[in-house]
Amino acid sequence: MKILFAASEAQPLVKTGGLADVVGALPRALAALGHDVKVLLPAYPGVLDRLRTRTMHSNLTDLFGGPAKVEAGRTDTGLDVLAIDAPHLYAKQSAHPYGPSASVDWEDNHLRFAALGWVASAIGRGTAGAWVPDIVHAHDWQAGLAPAYLALAEEMRPRTIITVHNLAFQGLFDRKHLAKLRLPESAFAVEGVEFHGQIGFLKAALHYADHITTVSPTYAREIQTPEFGAGLDGLLRHRSGQLDGILNGIDRDEWNPERDRYLPAMYGAHSLAKKAHNKAVLQEALGLAVEPRAPLFCVISRLSHQKGLDLLLTALPALRAAGAQLAVLGSGDAELTVGFSAAAKAAPTRVAFRSGWDESLSHRFQGGSDFIVVPSRFEPCGLTQLCGLRYGTVPVVARVGGLADTVIDANEAALADGVATGFQFAPQSTDALQNALLRAVAVYARSDAWLQMQGRAMSRNFGWERSALRYVALYEGLLARR
């Protein structure tokens, strides 16, 4: 099959979160199964320079206000990319793909990402280049108009899929842009792109795509309820027959403790003494007391309301009283930044906070910590707990979304049977989190139970192979019904 991914991020070219990890890895897993997959992505500054074997794929004379080229190329990791070179839309100097800073959006984002959908639809219809996909697979709101443009064109068209990585980001824009976005007046309807008086890019995809997926079975159920549905639960219930939850994997080359070049010492399940060395180096680098027996909890996260880290701040005194240390790497909300900075300042040998984005440090956190905490209010899949499992960095997670689907809670039965891989808590409250953190500290103190749990965690296989097969089955099913 020929499959076109349309997305706004892909590792290793541009990343603000797990979307990039998925778009950077799943196409390669599909290619390994014999499929021809290309990832369509805006050529933000620097993207073209990082592609090898560049060739011209197609030209567009007018892409929402200027000419554009689509260039084909390949990343060092072996990802086949089609980059939309449209300087009038994407040549903005910023380290962030969506705005001048992480918290501010560019004013023309409706055009910048409608263009992504438009080019995907042109490639899908065979009007932009000779390579024509059987499947157009769009990701999140930024690519949400691709299924809409294709459905509205009413020609022979590829089958379309939208994957929801996060329902909280919907891409809502003023209806006055309708004509500029090349959407007919008739599409501005409940059975169309309209969402509470605005144009909704994600809403459009949920209406027009042939199939909807999200990134875990539990989140697929949750988003059909008012509590997690962000106003779209009605539509999702209506489409529940075409909605699946397929778990994400992790890139097992990028996240492999036995070959991780960022780590002071590479290690595996049978050489955990080297993980202890990584812990000491990390404690030292962060200014924490170098205590081998103090349980070290870490966080690697966007600092946003979704991630529930305010609960962790509140639970911190209890965690410290139990003799544990905490290391946080994250960027985002000012309030959480202030909170974690203050906690680190008050007890620099027990709590460390590194603000910002740091790929290398994220690996060293996984390689050197004992636990990773993910107390999210909602979590479509979550990837840091999966990396944590692979690195023997035991997850402590809220029982929601993909966190519920990937971590086996250390309740008495699971401990007795030796199947526990982490700690879950519910409901989403400080008390429940605190309780899970203290349970974790208690197991850590029992070295036989702890080592068994760590080994069990490391033996779990969260590579992409199984999920890639599920996507293939889904694509084949859609093509068979054409």
Q: Which residues bind ligand GLC (CB under 6 A)?
A: 17-19, 22, 165-166, 215, 248, 379-383, 402
User: Interface with ligand ADP includes 367 (CB under 6 A)?
Assistant: no
**CA 377 – CA 375 distance, rounded (Å):** 7
Partner from ligand GLC, ligand ADP, none contacting 160, C-beta within 5 to 8 A by type = none
Nearest distance from C-beta of residue 169 to ligand GLC, angstroms: 8
Considering beta carbons, is residue 367 or 382 the nearer one to ligand GLC?
382
Partner from ligand ADP, ligand GLC, none contacting 215, C-beta within 5 to 8 A by type = ligand GLC
User: Interface with ligand ADP includes 362 (CB under 6 A)?
Assistant: yes
- Give me the 177-216 binding string for ligand ADP, x by CB under 6 A, dash otherwise: ----------------------------------------
Contact 290, 277 (CB under 8 A): no
Nearest distance from C-beta of residue 278 to ligand ADP, angstroms: 16
CB contact burial 195-224 (16+ within 10 A = b; e otherwise): beebbbbbbbbbbbbbbbbbbbbbbbbbbb
CB atoms within 10 A of CB 60: 19
Considering beta carbons, is residue 22 or 443 the nearer one to ligand ADP?
22
Considering beta carbons, is residue 245 or 392 the nearer one to ligand GLC?
245
Name the closest residue to ligand GLC (Cβ).
18
Segment 14 to 33, residues that bind ligand ADP, using CB under 6 A: 17-19, 21
Segment 377 to 396, residues that bind ligand ADP, using CB under 6 A: 381-384
CB hemisphere CA count around 23 (13 angstroms): 33
Partner from ligand GLC, ligand ADP, none contacting 358, C-beta within 5 to 8 A by type = ligand ADP
**CA 284 – CA 278 distance, rounded (Å):** 10
**CA 452 – CA 457 distance, rounded (Å):** 9
Segment 305 to 334, residues that bind ligand ADP, using CB under 6 A: 329-331
| Distances 301 to 18, 321, 383 between C-alpha atoms, Å | 10, 24, 10
User: Interface with ligand ADP includes 260 (CB under 6 A)?
Assistant: no
Considering beta carbons, is residue 21 or 194 the nearer one to ligand ADP?
21
- Which helix (H) or strand (E) segment holds residue 326: the answer is strand 325-332
**CA 117 – CA 149 distance, rounded (Å):** 7
**CA 112 – CA 277 distance, rounded (Å):** 47
**CA 77 – CA 478 distance, rounded (Å):** 29
Strands (E), 171-224: 172-173, 194-195, 198-200, 211-214
Considering beta carbons, is residue 219 or 365 the nearer one to ligand GLC?
219
**CA 49 – CA 43 distance, rounded (Å):** 10
Among 40, 300, 327, 398, binds ligand ADP (CB under 6 A): 300
Contact 369, 389 (CB under 8 A): no
Contact 338, 363 (CB under 8 A): no
Stretch that binds ligand ADP, among 56-64, 183-191, 296-304, 434-442 (CB under 6 A): 296-304
Nearest distance from C-beta of residue 401 to ligand GLC, angstroms: 7
Partner from ligand ADP, ligand GLC, none contacting 300, C-beta within 5 to 8 A by type = ligand ADP
Peptide bond into 184 cis (omega under 30): no
Among 198, 358, 415, 419, binds ligand ADP (CB under 6 A): 358
Distance, C-alpha 120 to centroid of its chain? 21
Peptide bond into 217 cis (omega under 30): no
Partner from ligand ADP, ligand GLC, none contacting 393, C-beta within 5 to 8 A by type = none
User: Interface with ligand ADP includes 434 (CB under 6 A)?
Assistant: no
Among 302, 320, 377, 439, binds ligand ADP (CB under 6 A): 302
Considering beta carbons, is residue 223 or 437 the nearer one to ligand GLC?
223
**CA 374 – CA 385 distance, rounded (Å):** 7
Partner from ligand ADP, ligand GLC, none contacting 224, C-beta within 5 to 8 A by type = none
Residues that bind ligand ADP (CB under 6 A): 17-19, 21, 300-302, 329-331, 357-359, 362, 381-384
